[in-house]
Structures are given as C-alpha cells and as structure tokens.
Structure 1
Amino acid sequence: MNFQLNDTQKMMRDLARDFATKELAPIAAEIDQEERIPKEIIEKMAEIGFTALNVPEEYGGPGLDTVCKVLVVSELARQCASTAEVIAVHTLVNDIFLKHGTEAQKQKYLTAAVEGKIGAFALTEAGAGSDAAAAKTKAVVDGDDYVINGSKCFISNMGPTEGDYVVVIALTEPEKGVKGMSAIVVDRGTPGFTVGKREEKMGIRGADISELIFEDCRVPRSNLVGKEGEGFKIAMMALDGGRIGMAAQALGICEAAIAASVKYMGERVQFGKPIGKNQGLQWYLADMATRTEAAKALILEAAVAADNGQPLSKLAAMCKYYASENAVWVTNKALQIHGGYGYMRDYPIERMYRDARIVPIYEGTSEVQKMVIAREVMK
C-alpha cells in the first residue's frame, strides 16, 4: 500500500509539528505537574482548526480525512500526550454526529467544535468496563423528554469546568439489553447532570477524566443521536475510529522517546565515549525504530481504510493493540537507555513512560483488541 502523503496531509503534519514544538513543548512538564491544559491552548487549537479536523466545510470546518487526524494527533503526542488525548476523543465525538446525528445536531455541535467547544463520549461504568454491554445507566421516556439516571466513570474531556457536551450511552429499553441502548447528547449545565470526581492519574495528567452523575437529568427526546436501540452499535463504530486516534497517540509517544534516546546517546559519555557507540544500545534503538515504523504502517492502513469506507474493526483493533503495546515497550527501553536519569523528572522520558501506560487500557484493553482480531480472523 502506498502511504505517500498528499499536499494537504503534509501541510497538516507540519502545522501540528510547528504548533506542538512552539506551544506544547515549553509547557508539557508544567501541564503534567499542574494536571491541567491551559484554556488558551484549546483556544489556539480551535483557531488553527484542530478541534474541527473532521468537520465538513458546510459546518465551518476543513473537512479533513482520517490520515490528517492521525498525523495531527501523533505530532501533538510527541510533545504532550494529554493534549493529544483531548483531540483524539473530541474528534471521535465529531464523527458520531457526522455519521448518526440529525441535521439540527450537526448544525449545533459541529459548529460548536469549530468554535472550540469540546465533546466527550460516555460509555464506561464502574461495573461495565471491558464488558460495555453491562452498562446500567437508564434513560426513561417521559412525554417529550428522556429522564436519565445513573453514572459513568473514567470519561475523557470532562472536568470540573472543562468539557461542553457528552454523548451518553444509556438504556432506553432495559429489557432488550444491548439492543435497548441508545445514544443521547447532554449539554454541560443541564439540571441533574453533574461532573463528579476528577481522577488523579499516573499519566496523561493534564487530560480531564472524570465521573459523570445523572440524577433525574431531563433532556428533550430530540437529543437522541441516531435511533433508539442503536446506541451500542453507535458506540462500537465510534470505538473503531477512536482506536485509530489512540494508536496515533501511542505512535507520537514512541517517536518522541526514540528522538530523546538518540539525543541522550550522543551526549552521555561513559568509559570515555558516547554511549551511542555501544552496539548493545544501538540494537535497542534499531528494535525501537523498526517496531515503531511497523506500528505507523498499521495505523496509516487503518486510517486509509476508514477514509475509503472499508470494514474497520480488525484493522482498528490491530493498530491500537500493536501501537499501544509498542509504546509501553519503547518507552521502557528508552528509560533504560537513559539509566538513572531517565527515572528522574529532569528528563521527559519519565513522563512519556507514564503516559504510554494508559494506551493499552483505554478505548478497549489489549485483551479486548485481541478478542476482536481473533473474531475477525476466524470469520
């Protein structure tokens, strides 16, 4: 498969690289330490168009493809995985409205994305992680409204003050199980909807991940996204696209770890010579680079498949599984190359190591990805 980038894709890659280098690199450690992304960073990304990457021109966006999304997310992740996380999840929400939303919803939420409003997606519950079908949050019809009761946990892009709207997967017909799940959009500030505990995390500390609580939360039935009973299907389709975004985040972390290792190997002198002269460490680097290029190829193949409307589940699971596991492996090797210094916060590899560790867990664990891959291969 030919992965030559077109002019637009090259432009977006370079734009994201320039932004990440100038705006994120100087404050990445601060974002991690203070556990927040400055509001002005989100505003600047909106001005550039990153919050509306996949929003069509008719709604004010650039209407870019999935390859562009991969390039932007990976470039952001090279400097700040937390910021990359925000864009990866937010563009997933854009996709939900693009594929399943009414015209009124597209006008409202895709236009909001252009303006820099940030969307969230709420599927996971305390008793329904990998087993998403076990979700218990309910949305009961009452006249022209849904009344939502329940809670969600580990929800990205929602914090005490951050996050503007969320697509919630809830049971509208509990007796039907997964076939009774529906997708409903809820705006921040809706009575009965509150953001609970903001999680304190090992990595991606700047990204908001919180508990969401719904207590007699009343929203119009026009907030239904797609049709009743299609919520689980919508969620699984969204996760296919979302997994490509998370794989791109993993790719950026890997590329940053390799670059940091090359720099350190040229500077660090032991036994009278730079450690980069040691064949053993060169072999570490060779393995890191080869595996990362393989991950990139899988990610781009999945992105092209998504843009061509091809079946996505297997490729999305493969690229997310391989890229995320590789991110943990590569950052571990990079930390080993750095030795004791790599364990200290003076060097960014410590942060990369922590950031990488979440990627094999969210948007479907590696074990879930292998289940999906095996199921598709055995068809």
Structure 2
Amino acid sequence: MDLNLSPEEKDIRDWVRTFVTKELMPLEQQVLTRERNHEPGITHDELKALQNKAKAAGFFGIQTPESHGGMGLGAVMTSLIQAELGRTFVPFRFAGDADNILFSATEEQQERYLLPTISGEKRSCFAITEPGAGSDARAIRNTARREGDEWVINGEKTFITGGNEADFVMVFAVTDREKGADGGVTCFLVDRDMGWTSSPIDTMGEWGPAALSFEDVRVPHSAILGEEGHGFDLAMQWIGKGRYMLPANALGACERLVEMGMEWARNRKTFGLPIAERQAIQWMVADSATEIEALRWLVLAAAWQVDNGIDSRQSQSMAKLYGGVKANEIVDRVLQMHGGMGYTRELPIERWYRELRLLRIYEGTDEIQRRTIARNLLKGHASVRGHLG
C-alpha cells in the first residue's frame, strides 16, 4: 500500500496549490464585496483570464482525454486538485472540461456540443431535478411527445446549476410513461434558442441555480443523446461521475478553516492566555484534524477505486455523506472559536458556513446517501469490511 505521490503528481498538486495561493486567494475580499452587492464574485472575463493563465502552464481539461486536448488525469489526481481549489471560495474552475455523458454523443453532436464546450465557446447544464422530483429522480414529470421527426418538450426543471448561463441543456423527459424510468426516460440536447427559458433562484448561499421552463419546445429526433428510453442510465452516469469531487472540495475548505481557527486561537487572549491554551479549543482542533484526515482517506479511497475500475458507488456515498456532515460541523466549530467575530461579515467564515450547508443537499442528500449505503449493506452488495472483503 503506497500512500505517497509520484514526483509528477506532487508537481501537479504543488502547482495548483501555488496558483490558488497567488492568483485566487488575493481576490477573496473583492469576491466578498461583490457578492454582498449582489454581483458575480468574478466576471466571465476575469474567469477567462485566470483560466488562460492556467492553460499557459498546461492546466486545461483536467479530466478531458488527451485525444480531445485535455490532461486526462485520473480520479485520485483530480480529487487532490479539487481539494486545493476548495481552500478558497473564489469561484474558479479550470477550462477545457465537459460533461462526461457528452462523450457518448454522436459525431455530429460532438461537433455541435462537446467540442465547443471543451473550447469554452458554449456552456452546458444538466437538468433532471423538478419541483416534485429531487432525490426521487424517477418521479420526473417533464414530458417529450413525438410528432413525426420532432419531439415536443413540456415541463419544468428546478435547482439547475449553470442554468442561467447555459447555451444548451441536457434535459431528461418522459417519453413512455408506461415503461417508467427503465426504458421510458430520454435525454435531449436542446439549445436555448429552441425556446426554453430560465430564471434565477435566490438561495442562502452564492450558488445561483435556475428554474427552467419548457413550453412546447420542439427539437429534432437527432437531438436525443444516447438511445431513446435510456436517459435514466445516462443521468446516473452523470450523477455518479464523481461524488467524491464534492467532499474533496469540502476537504480543502476544512483544512483552510481549521488553519484560520488555529491562527486566531494563538493570538486571541482571554484571562491573560491565548485561547489555544484552553482545553475546549484544543479539543475542537483535535476533533477537526482527525475528521479531516478521515475524510481525506474516504475521498482518496473512492477515487482510487474509480481509477482501478472498481465499483465505487458505496465509497462515494460514504465520502459524500461524511464530507457533508463533518464539513458543517467543522465550519461551525471554527465560527465558535472566533466568537462574535466569526458571526460577522468582516471574516469569510459565515460565507463558508452558508456554502458548505449546500453539500448536505445537492447531488444526493444525506438521507439518500444513508439509504444507499444501508441498502447496499443489507442486500449484500457491499460489506462493512470494505472493498477488500
């Protein structure tokens, strides 16, 4: 069991660490100020400039195959990169990536959607969640009715990440009610100019999801992604592409938060001593560090399984569940360590507090992860001994 990174892997991680420290962290105060004025933390042009800096150093298409101009990095390396990016709340992502299910598109669809997404000419969004179908994705009501060589799409989608900015949507609709999710749901690639609309949803955090509306939106039969009736399989492929990425990002945030908490504890004095000398604070630090280390290995174990072709759904659910719960506990502790200052907007802790709360909801709630984990164990699909058996 080799727990060390190769020299190349260290170089990649360290470059991202330096990039985050020198290019992103100095923007944090600007991001906070803009967000409090209900403006984007960084503009599209600013994001593009940062992405170009990274691209000049070879960081483009982190998981995009080399055949499509990307780095083609594996899951473990990607999770390490995501943890480094998680150390700041500046909304940055490397350019050159595309939704994994777009790689299963036809050659014509790849020319129209995949390649422009990789190059940054187009932006996509994934739309399966509906007002009455969140965790229960099989309950979707959005419909697509065939009329000759066209499909007519009607319905609503909600909490769609990137929906307000997207040029096209991968939308899932019921095409055969009698067959249900297994054989009756189809994915369509639909350009915005085909008629669907979006409106922003105001949330307690800075995540800006959208509500999408489809009213007699007509698309050609060639707009189907994958096979007719097999949309749910694609949806699960998209959802399962990397649940380990979310707790990986939270891992970086937790590291940074605890570092902030320790620095504060060393300097803040009460009754003549730094609060770092107080047992209550020491226990907060100790518990947080232990949980961070446990989360690190849950994330890396899930990612390692992905890289080695092992079914990692159980491990990813565990990482997602543990990461969401513990990240919220850790940010709460760090806020408590800062006392009243932690509750103010002078420090970014309250910002992280709101952001990390989302981790327990989107891309599978805590309850859904627990349901998945327990079912796999009770039905014998997984063991409490882990994948080593």
TM-score normalised per structure 2: 0.88
* Match in the other structure for 2:257: 257
Structure with greater contact order relative to length (CA < 8 Å, sep ≥ 6): 1
The whole-number CA distance in structure 1 between the counterparts of 2:34 and 2:65 is 31
The residue number in structure 2 matching 1:293 is: 293
Q: CA deviation at 1:46?
A: 4.0
Which residue pairs with 2:174 in the alignment? 171
Q: Which has the higher mean CA deviation after the structures are superposed, 43-52 or 214-223?
A: 43-52
Deviations 1:197-236 (A, max 9, x none): x122112x1x431101111222232222221222112212
Show the 5 A alignment for 1:1-379.
1-25=1-25, 26=27, 27-30=30-33, 32-33=35-36, 34-36=38-40, 37-44=42-49, 46-47=51-52, 48=54, 52-80=61-89, 82-83=91-92, 94-98=99-103, 100-116=104-120, 117-159=122-164, 162-179=165-182, 180-187=184-191, 189-196=192-199, 198-203=200-205, 205=206, 207-378=207-378, 379=380
The separation in 2 between residues aligned to 1:202 and 1:232, in whole angstroms, is 30
Give the aligned residue type for 1:265: A
Are the equivalent residues in 1 in contact too, given 2:302–2:316 (CA < 8 A)?
yes
- Structure 2 distance, partners of 1:346, 1:2, is 43
Q: Given the superposition, is the C-alpha separation of residues 35 and 285 from structure 1 closer, same or farther in structure 2, using an over 3 Å criterion?
A: farther
**Cα distance change, pair 314–345 in 1 and its aligned pair in 2 (3 A):** same
Structure 1 CA distance, aligned partners of 2:50 and 2:145?
38
Q: 1:78 aligns to what SS in structure 2?
A: coil
Q: Distance in 2 between matches of 1:253 and 1:14?
A: 17
Amino acid at match of 1:374: A
Q: Give the superposed CA RMSD.
A: 2.3
What SS does the aligned partner of 2:193 have? coil
> Which protein shows a greater Rg?
2
> Which segments of 5 or more consecutive residues in structure 1 lack a partner in the other structure?
none
Name whichever of 322-331 and 60-69 sits farther off: 60-69
On the 8 A contact 2:163/2:210 being kept in 1, the answer is yes
Distance in 1, matches of 2:202 and 2:66, equals 38
Q: 1:224 to 1:315 in 2, by over 3 A?
A: same
Kindly state the Cα deviation for residue 6 of structure 1 after the two structures are TM-superposed: 3.2
- CA distance 1:96–1:7, shift in 2 (3 Å): farther
Residue 291 (structure 1) shift: 0.4
Deviates more, 1:259-268 or 1:366-375: 259-268
The alignment covers a number of residue pairs equal to 368
- Report deviation, 1:83: 4.0
CA distance in 1, matches of 2:77, 2:46: 20
Shifted more, 142-151 versus 336-345: the winner is: 142-151
Shift of 1:97: 1.8
Question: More helix by proportion, 1 or 2?
Answer: 1
**Residues 275-331 of structure 1, C-alpha deviations (whole Å, 9 max, x = no match):** 112222111101101101111111111111112221121111111001111110100
Cα offsets for 1:6-34 (capped at 9, x unmatched): 34433332333333333332234235323
Q: For residue 241 of structure 1, give the secondary structure of its aligned residue in structure 2.
A: coil
**Contact 2:99-2:238 within 8 A present in 1 as well:** no
Is this contact kept in 2: 1:314–1:373, CA < 8 A?
A: yes
Query: Retained in 1: the 8 A contact 2:299–2:319?
Result: yes
TM-aligned CA deviation for residue 101 of structure 1: 2.4
| CA contact 2:60–2:71 (8 Å) conserved in 1 | no
CA distances 1:17-62 after superposition (whole Å, capped 9, x unpaired): 3333333322342353235241134314543356722111222222
Q: Is the 8 A contact 1:260 1:349 kept in 2?
A: no
SS at match of 2:358: coil
Question: In structure 2, how many angstroms separate the alpha carbons of the residues matched to 1:329 and 1:256?
Answer: 14
**In structure 2, what is the Cα distance between the partners aligned to 1:74 and 1:31?**
24
Identity, % of aligned positions: 39
| DSSP 3-state at the match of 1:282 | helix
